[in-house]
């Protein structure tokens, strides 16, 4: 158990759960908090018991040994679940509680003439007698806590939210939904329901995203709990909580949809870039969910862009448009088909049993045996097996078919002939050939004109110089080809199984020989089914395909307005059910977004024509960006996109946007660090400026963890207390430059400084 959790659980009964500052003495009235004190004391005791119980169960499970593969899989899954639960319990204490609601006497499920107090938590928690101390925030019983409004109280008399710091309550706020909800005048000291929300918005940021579960608003909660069976689009401008909604929806779906668990699909959460993925990494575990796969599009094609870092290779606009054309998938298919041509000449091979004649018809029959849709590299094994069967059957004169087959399987001449006709291919080699061999590109992509081909031309031997626009093509090629190492792994696996089968047969024979009457269990060892079961271990022969290849039951994609048609195909391969949650802002699309969301999703295949309209929801309130910043940022994007959905800010800091010279950068950062012991800042500039300033030093040390240096693209989805925007005029002109400037400005939660 962590030091924090141990200290808290051992001392909670000796101290109050509340640590209210002196200015909030009125809220410390026992009439207001006595019930909470009793409840939190019971929670502390239950948490201590449960933490000890989970730790004991985890330790015991780690020490168990399973003989069979399925038992190993189940043990490992349980260890993961228990570890995640223990980590959550040790990360929190009684601050697992988000707030409480009071149900009216006539609310559904509440006994007549009584009121029911329900405490809402990140997870569910029971006392020793099985009574609920916390109701998991994802359950239907907790829904009114987030959804209730004065127009629709959802059966609530009141709602209380807590502000926690270091495991104790430093403030709380009550919202009353009935005129007689608070009968005691003293209770009115807590009436300030908006403060919990506004206070959370104004607090300092850190290098990781904070979950805002306790302050989820009604419109956001409705999106989180929306039907998962049809594509859902969540459109909203900067600071409207799109990412918050997306992450909470992922946790909610995993809890509310049992079909998503137990290796039956699960949820994939796709973010725009790696700084974003690191930023949100801790949110889902804090919401009680640790089984959602979080990645970026780059991660879907592992190992390609690992060495590029935060400033990946960039294609020209022309090359990017060409590579994003869906017809490029046809080019990949044509390139593969070039390597799938049956030999037209007969072949005679020598074996220890004699000569075997392989006719062109034999090759044609073997090639025709490939199942439709089977990846190229996997199909090669099917061709090989079919060819061996055909040749062994027609060569009966040389001996028993199994002996002829065995001799042919070891024949190098026959194997080389198949390798020439149907070679094993890698995705990287295939796509490299398209860019480096002009004749191949001309043959496979006849719609390209000479200028297009020249733009795509890459000097031969530079296959490591991939760009993000190459990833969808590499992914398409990888799925069409299959794993080029699968054939070798299959042969190794079969050889291992054959050797083990032979060994176990010898052992069984020896045991039978020692048991003279041949009865009982020993005699069963002669049965082939039992011998095969002893050899077959599901854990050893488990699916070795990459985890991110899916398929997934539901995919949530953030900043989806940036996805190209080809990138959408990457996601569709991983979610054939088309159960998507699409989160984005058309006004933040760097390349423009002239279509509606429904038009875009229908065109790329997420929503099939005639399958029903895409469900959509709009978030229009900016909770993050101060009005002072939005007043400057809005005209930038509206100048190029007059119909952009610019959200309305609900908060003000009183700090106007500052404009200074680039030479003041060091001074701005040094002064901010000196005056702010908490919070994070970001210098946002063009990739060229960041590279140049890193080389010459720029007069500023980059050694602090509290200051990031990012391009507008890599800052998307993140937020910082201070944003220093360097030379936005260098971004150029047009929609892309305006969007980059708009995105950069709206990352600020407190202060924006523009340097020219």
- Residue list for the binding site: 236-243
> For residues 32 and 187, is the Cβ–Cβ distance under 8 A?
yes
- Model pLDDT for residues 582-627, shown as the tens digit of each residue: 999 999 999 889 888 988 999 999 987 666 678 899 998 888 899 9
Shortest CA distance to 202 belongs to which of 619, 621, 624?
Answer: 624
- What are the Cα distances from residue 500, in Å, to 494, 509, 589? 10, 14, 58
The ranges of the chain with pLDDT < 50 are 1-13, 112-113, 193-199, 307-313, 516, 518, 530, 533-544
d(CA 637, CA 646): 9
d(CA 119, CA 127): 13
For residue 720, give the 3-state DSSP assignment.
strand
- What are the Cα distances from residue 429, in Å, to 539, 565, 753? 32, 23, 47
What confidence score (pLDDT) does residue 110 get?
A: 53
What confidence score (pLDDT) does residue 264 get?
A: 60
d(CA 312, CA 691): 12
> For residues 304 and 427, is the Cβ–Cβ distance under 8 A?
no
Q: Which residue has the tokens 């030091």?
A: 3
d(CA 343, CA 421): 6
> For residues 297 and 275, is the Cβ–Cβ distance under 8 A?
no
Burial class for 150, CB neighbours closer than 10 Å (0-12, 13-18, 19+): exposed
What confidence score (pLDDT) does residue 505 get?
A: 63
In the structure encoding, which two tokens stand for residue 693, read together? 């300033």
What confidence score (pLDDT) does residue 310 get?
A: 39
What confidence score (pLDDT) does residue 538 get?
A: 43
Shortest CA distance to 569 belongs to which of 539, 606, 517?
Answer: 606
- Residue list for the binding site for ATP: 236-243
d(CA 233, CA 223): 10
For residue 19, give the 3-state DSSP assignment.
coil
- What are the Cα distances from residue 478, in Å, to 336, 545, 565? 11, 12, 18
Shortest CA distance to 387 belongs to which of 336, 354, 421, 353?
Answer: 421
C-beta pairs of 336-340 under 8 Å, 24+ apart in sequence:
336/376, 336/425, 336/430, 336/477, 336/480, 336/481, 338/440, 338/443, 338/444, 339/376, 339/422, 339/423, 339/425, 340/367, 340/376, 340/421, 340/422
φ/ψ region of 36 (left if φ > 0, alpha if ψ in -120 to 50, else beta) reads alpha
> For residues 388 and 405, is the Cβ–Cβ distance under 8 A?
yes
Q: What contacts 292, CB < 8 A, 6 or more positions away? A: 250, 251, 254, 266, 267, 268, 269, 284
Strand ordering across the sheet containing 554-557? 293-296, 267-271, 554-557, 580-584, 232-236, 615-619
Q: How many CB atoms lie within 10 A of CB 583?
A: 28
What confidence score (pLDDT) does residue 206 get?
A: 52
The distance in angstroms from the start CA to the end CA of the chain is 51
């Amino acid at each position: 158990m962590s030091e924090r959790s141990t200290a808290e659980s051992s001392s909670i009964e000796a101290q109050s759960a509340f640590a209210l500052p002196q200015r909030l003495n009125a809220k410390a009235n026992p009439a207001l908090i006595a019930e909470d004190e009793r409840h939190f004391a019971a929670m502390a005791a239950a948490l201590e018991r449960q933490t000890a119980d989970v730790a004991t169960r985890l330790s015991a499970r780690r020490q168990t040994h399973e003989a069979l593969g399925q038992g190993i899989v189940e043990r490992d899954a349980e260890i993961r679940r228990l570890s995640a639960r223990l980590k959550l319990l040790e990360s929190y204490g009684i601050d697992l509680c988000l707030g409480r609601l009071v149900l009216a006497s006539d609310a559904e499920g509440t006994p007549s003439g009584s009121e029911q107090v329900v405490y809402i938590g990140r997870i569910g928690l029971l006392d020793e007698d099985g009574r609920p101390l916390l109701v998991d925030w994802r359950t239907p019983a907790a829904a009114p806590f987030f959804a209730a409004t004065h127009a629709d109280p959802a059966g609530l008399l009141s709602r209380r939210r807590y502000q926690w710091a270091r495991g104790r309550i430093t403030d709380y706020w009550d919202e009353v939904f009935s005129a007689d909800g608070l009968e005691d005048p003293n209770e009115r000291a807590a009436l300030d329901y908006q403060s919990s929300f506004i206070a959370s918005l104004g607090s300092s940021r850190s290098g990781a995203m904070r979950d805002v579960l306790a302050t989820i608003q009604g419109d956001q909660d409705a999106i989180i709990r929306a039907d998962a069976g049809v594509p859902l689009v969540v459109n909203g401008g900067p600071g409207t909580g799109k990412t918050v909604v997306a992450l909470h929806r992922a946790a909610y779906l995993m809890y509310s949809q049992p079909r998503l668990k137990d290796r039956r699909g699960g949820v994939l959460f796709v973010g725009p870039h790696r700084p974003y993925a690191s930023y949100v990494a801790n949110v889902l575990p804090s919401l009680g969910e640790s089984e959602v796969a979080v990645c970026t599009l780059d991660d879907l094609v592992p190992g390609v862009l690992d060495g590029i870092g935060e400033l990946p290779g960039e294609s020209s606009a022309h090359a990017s448009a060409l590579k994003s054309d869906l017809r490029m998938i046809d080019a990949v298919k044509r390139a593969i088909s070039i390597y799938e041509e049956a030999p037209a000449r007969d072949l005679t091979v020598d074996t220890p049993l004699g000569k075997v004649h392989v006719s062109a018809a034999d090759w044609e029959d073997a090639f025709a045996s490939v199942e439709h849709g089977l990846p190229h590299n996997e199909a090669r094994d099917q061709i090989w097996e079919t060819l061996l069967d055909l040749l062994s059957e027609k060569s009966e004169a040389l001996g028993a078919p199994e002996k002829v087959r065995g001799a042919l399987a070891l024949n190098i001449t026959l194997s080389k002939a198949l390798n020439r006709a149907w070679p094993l291919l890698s995705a990287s080699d295939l796509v490299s050939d398209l860019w480096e061999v002009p004749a191949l590109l001309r043959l496979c992509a006849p719609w390209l004109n000479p200028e297009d081909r020249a733009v795509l031309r890459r000097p031969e031997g530079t296959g490591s110089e991939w760009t993000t626009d190459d990833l969808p093509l590499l992914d398409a090629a990888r799925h069409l080809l299959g794993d080029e190492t699968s054939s070798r792994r299959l042969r190794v696996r079969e050889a291992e199984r054959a050797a083990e089968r032979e060994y176990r047969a010898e052992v069984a024979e020896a045991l039978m020989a020692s048991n003279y009457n041949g009865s009982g269990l020993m005699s069963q060892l002669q049965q082939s089914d039992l011998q095969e079961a002893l050899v077959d271990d599901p854990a050893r022969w488990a699916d070795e395909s990459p985890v991110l290849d899916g398929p997934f039951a539901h995919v949530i994609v953030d900043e989806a307005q940036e996805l190209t048609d080809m990138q959408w195909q990457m996601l569709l391969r991983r979610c054939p059910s088309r159960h998507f949650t699409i989160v984005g802002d058309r006004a933040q699309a760097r390349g423009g977004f002239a279509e509606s969301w429904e038009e875009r999703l229908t065109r790329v295949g997420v929503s099939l024509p005639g399958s029903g309209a895409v469900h959509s929801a709009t978030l229009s309130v900016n909770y993050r960006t101060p009005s002072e910043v939005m007043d400057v940022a809005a005209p930038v994007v509206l100048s190029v996109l007059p119909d952009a959905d610019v959200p309305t800010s609900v908060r003000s800091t009183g700090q106007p946007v500052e404009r200074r010279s680039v030479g003041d950068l060091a001074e701005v950062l040094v002064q901010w660090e000196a005056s702010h012991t908490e919070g994070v800042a970001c210098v946002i500039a063009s990739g060229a400026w960041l590279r140049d300033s890193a080389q010459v030093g720029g007069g500023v040390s980059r050694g602090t963890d509290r200051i990031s240096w990012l391009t507008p693209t890599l800052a998307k989805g993140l937020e910082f207390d201070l944003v220093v925007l360097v030379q936005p005029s260098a971004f150029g002109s047009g929609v892309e430059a305006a969007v980059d400037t708009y995105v950069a400005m709206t990352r600020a939660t407190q202060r924006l400084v523009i340097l020219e």
